[in-house]
Amino acid sequence: MTANVGKLKGGPQRFVVAPVETVGGEITVPGDKSITHRAAMLASVACGTSRIHDFLGGDDCLATLEAFRALGVAIETDEHGVLEIEGRGLAGLRAPAHPLDLGNSGTALRLMAGLLAAQPFDVELTGDDSLRSRPMARIADPLGAMGARIDTAGGRAPLVIRSGARLKGIEYALPVASAQVKSALLLAGLSAVGRTTLRSPGPTRDHTERMLPGMGVPVDEDAHSNVVSLEGPAEPRAIEITVPGDFSSAAFFIVAGCLAANDGMTIRNVGVNPTRTGLLTILRAMGAEIELSAIRTMGGEQVADIHVRQCPLRGIEVPPHLVPLAIDEFPILFIAAAGAAGRTIVRGAQELRHKECDRLSVMASALNALGIDARELPDGLIIEGGRFKGGRAASHGDHRVAMALAVASVLSERPIEILDTAQVATSFPGFTAVAAQTGIAVESRRL
């Protein structure tokens, strides 16, 4: 996996996916998007030149690179495909000549808001229609309590960050368990005077906390009480890091394997950070046979090979405490639920209404359109197991919804057509090729 740091891709597209009876093989998936974003951001404000191996060349991460280039950061790829970022330090960024367009990436926009909150210049952060519809007061308000001067468009993007802020560390209780909010405040804490302490109502991804100590910034954590803190100001040092395979990308093939890998399937070099793998716990509770091997640590992150094979799944009521640990994997979990015997109930997942689309509403509509009985709850879904009939479903431009519906082909009687799939490139460039390696026949067509 090498970084593709060329121009962003796009255009109206749809998937047409033929039914398949079995899947299998051995695959790898692209680098982790969450870790890639954080590595690029921290490297850009570090002292020295960082080297990032297996950088994810998806549109979201390319937008992050373009934003930092506009902020004066030199970014190149060497002859081996390793990304080299010449850090400018926390005070070395320059004013961009235009608003920074983060495309579809909520992670990029929210984390950059924290990182840029103390800069001595005005900067505007914006994105596509989907990104501009998502809530931003959840970061603007606590950043304002730290001293940042941020204007929003009615609590949404674009965000205009004003110069002249002098940040101070605060103690803050997050109203929702959000890794993006937590990370934005930690990144702001790098430029703040004093200690920034954050309390979360539940566990969240901890990639930021794992990466910072490797760059010379001590972080104090209490995993039992979900409290994290750091003392500022603190400037990161350059790092050399290898980005593991993205668990969220692997999730599509983990579920495909559970449903149709009669002879097994293996996904190599996947990040298995415990704050990301709630899907495995849920699938195992449904009866899945999943094994991890060659477990090791890379750049502070746990990595493993994942082995999965087909076995009967049963519907369950998903424990609410696992929801934050599988929040990005719910579109594909809903496909597993559709292939399980009996009823699956998901509650406590209202955060899914604030993703690239309202994933509860969109997935319920798509499942029903394809022949599965799915009922929407205020904070979840009830899904009756069955078999997909095939037909047409809308992804509403959500990359994870589109890929999840493609996996439904392993249980479908007829082809599935998925509309508005161009955004798959934001997180999983080469998805159709990797799917083909497993036996899933995804044809991408222009509209």
Tell me, what DSSP letter sits at residue 202? Answer: S
Residue 193: strand pairing partners:
168
| Residues classed as catalytic | 328
Written as one letter, the residue type at 286 is M
Contacts of 368-376 spanning 24+ positions with Cβ under 8 A: 369/393, 369/394, 370/405, 370/408, 370/412, 370/416, 372/338, 374/334, 374/338
- Kind plus residue range of the DSSP H or E element containing 380: strand 380-384
State the DSSP code for 350.
Answer: G
DSSP secondary structure letter of residue 156: B
CA 44 – CA 48 distance, rounded (Å): 9
Our CA angle for 419, 423, 424, nearest 5°, is 90
Cα 283 to Cα 56: distance, rounded to the nearest angstrom: 27
CA separation, residue 163 to residues 123, 131, 189 (Å): 8, 24, 16
Distances (CA, A) of 322 to 102, 402, 437: 30, 23, 31
Amino acid identity of residue 269, one-letter, is: N
Query: Which structure tokens are listed for 385?
Result: 């197991």
How far out from the chain centre does Cα 57 lie?
14
Q: Interior CA angle at 351 toward 153 and 175, to 5°?
A: 75
Tokens matching residue 272: 């298995």
Q: Prior bond to 158 cis, omega within 30?
A: yes
